[in-house]
Amino acid sequence: MGNAAAAHGALAAGVNLISGYPGTPSSELLEVASAFVQNAVADGVLSAEQAPHVEWSVNEKAALEVAYGASISGARALVTMKQVGLNVAADPFMTIATLGVKGGLVLYVADDPGPISSQNEQDTRLYAQFAKIPLLDSSSPEELFALMPRAFRLSEQHGCAVIVRATTRICHGSAPVPAVNRYKPHPISGFERNPRWVIFPPLAYQAHLAVPERLQSILANPDFSDLNYQIRADDTPAELGIVAGGISWSYLQDVLCQYNLSASFDLLKLGAPFPFPEELVTDFLMRHRTVLVFEELEPTIERELHRVAGSEQTGSFIYGKLTGTTRFAGENSVAIISDDLLHFLRVVGLLPKELLPEESLLEESLLEELATLTPEPSFDELLIPRPPVLCAGCPHRASFYAVKKALQGKKAFFSGDIGCYTLGNSLPLNMVDTCVCMGAGFTVPQGMHWAQPDALHLGFVGDSTFYASGLTGVVNAVYNQSAITFVVLDNELTAMTGSQPHPGTGLRMSYDAKADDVLRAPSIARVIEALGVRQVYEIDPLKLPQAIEAVTQATQLTEVSAVVFRAPCVNVGKRQAPPQLLSDDCTGCWICIDSIGCPALIMNDKAGLVHIDEEHCFGCDLCTQICPTNALESTNGS
**Mode of pairing for the β-strands spanning 228-231 and 266-270:** antiparallel
Nearest to 209 by CA among 262, 144, 132, 284: 132
d(CA 596, CA 424): 10
Instruction: Kindly tell me which residue out of 386, 409, 454, 558 binds other proteins, with binding defined by CB under 8 A.
Output: 386
φ/ψ of 297, rounded to 5, equals 70, -125
Burial 567-599, CB ≥16 within 10 A → b, else e = bebbeebeebebbebeeeebeeeeebbebbbbb
- Restricted to residues 414-473, the positions that interact with other proteins (CB under 8 A) are 420, 423, 426-428
Least CB distance from residue 247 to other proteins, whole Å?
7
Binding other proteins (rule: CB under 8 A), the pick from 35, 119, 172, 231 is 172
Q: CB of 332: closest distance to other proteins in angstroms? A: 9
Q: 391 or 560: whose CB is closer to other proteins?
A: 391
Residue 339: what residue type? D
Which residues on adjacent β-strands are paired with residue 621?
A: none
Q: Is 367 in the site for other proteins (CB under 8 A)?
A: no
515 to 574, contacts with other proteins by CB under 8 A? Answer: none
Site for other proteins in 136-155 (CB under 8 A): 140
Q: Does 388 bind other proteins (CB under 8 A)?
A: yes
Judged by CB under 8 A, does residue 594 bind other proteins? yes
338 binds other proteins (CB under 8 A): yes
Site for other proteins contains 379 (CB under 8 A) = yes
Closest CA to 609 of 585, 628, 634: 585
The one among 9, 20, 173, 271 contacting other proteins by CB under 8 A: 173
Beta strand 135-137 with 162-167 is parallel
165 scored as a contact of other proteins (CB under 8 A): no
Q: Does 35 bind other proteins (CB under 8 A)?
A: no
The region of 296-304, 533-541, 578-586, 596-604 touching other proteins under the rule CB under 8 A is 596-604
What whole-number distance in Å separates Cα of residue 411 and Cα of residue 449?
12
Contacts of residue 22, Cβ cutoff 8 Å, sequence gap at least 6: 30, 56, 464, 494, 497, 498, 500
620 binds other proteins (CB under 8 A): no
327 in contact with other proteins (CB under 8 A): no
Contact between 497 and other proteins by CB under 8 A: the answer reads: yes
C-alpha radius of gyration, the chain, whole number: 28
| Bond preceding residue 178 cis, omega within 30 of 0 | no
Length of the chain: 638
Q: Does 387 bind other proteins (CB under 8 A)?
A: yes
Residue 163 binding other proteins, by CB under 8 A = no
- The answer to whether 533 and 480 are in contact (CB under 8 A) is no
**204 vs 589, beta carbon nearer other proteins:** 589
> Cβ closer to other proteins: 175 or 203?
175
Grouping H, G, I as helix, E, B as strand and the rest as coil, residue 614 is coil
Which one of 135, 180, 293, 391 is in contact with other proteins (CB under 8 A)?
Answer: 391
| Nearest residue (CB) to other proteins, 109 versus 531 | 109
Q: Which residues of 532-560 are buried (b: 16+ CB within 10 A; e: fewer)?
A: ebebbbbbebbbbeebbebbeebbeeeeb
Q: Is 444 helix (H, G, I), strand (E, B) or coil?
A: helix
Using rule CB under 8 A, residue 625 touches other proteins: no
Q: Which is nearer to other proteins, 44 or 176 (CB)?
A: 176
Rule CB under 8 A: choose which of 96, 101, 536, 598 binds other proteins. 598
Contact with other proteins (CB under 8 A): which of 169, 186, 269, 543? 169
- Phi, psi for residue 361 in degrees, rounded to 5: -100, 70
CB 511 to other proteins: min, Å: 22
Beta bridge partners of 612: 601
Nearer to other proteins, 195 or 387 (CB): 387
- Which residue, 160, 136, 149, 142, is CA-closest to 186? 149
Q: How far is the CB of 139 from other proteins (least distance, A)?
A: 8
Q: Which of the ranges 149-157, 438-446, 494-502, 512-520 carries the binding residues for other proteins, by CB under 8 A?
A: 494-502
**What is the rounded CA–CA span in Å between residue 48 and residue 76?**
17
Question: First-to-last CA distance in the chain?
Answer: 45
Q: Yes or no: say if 54 and 37 are a contact pair by the CB < 8 Å rule.
A: yes
**CB nearer to other proteins: pick between 188 and 334:** 334
- Residues near other proteins (CB under 8 A) are 24-25, 116-117, 140, 169, 172-176, 247, 250-251, 253-254, 257, 333-335, 338, 370, 372-377, 379, 382-391, 420, 423, 426-428, 496-498, 590, 593-594, 597-599, 601-603, 605, 613
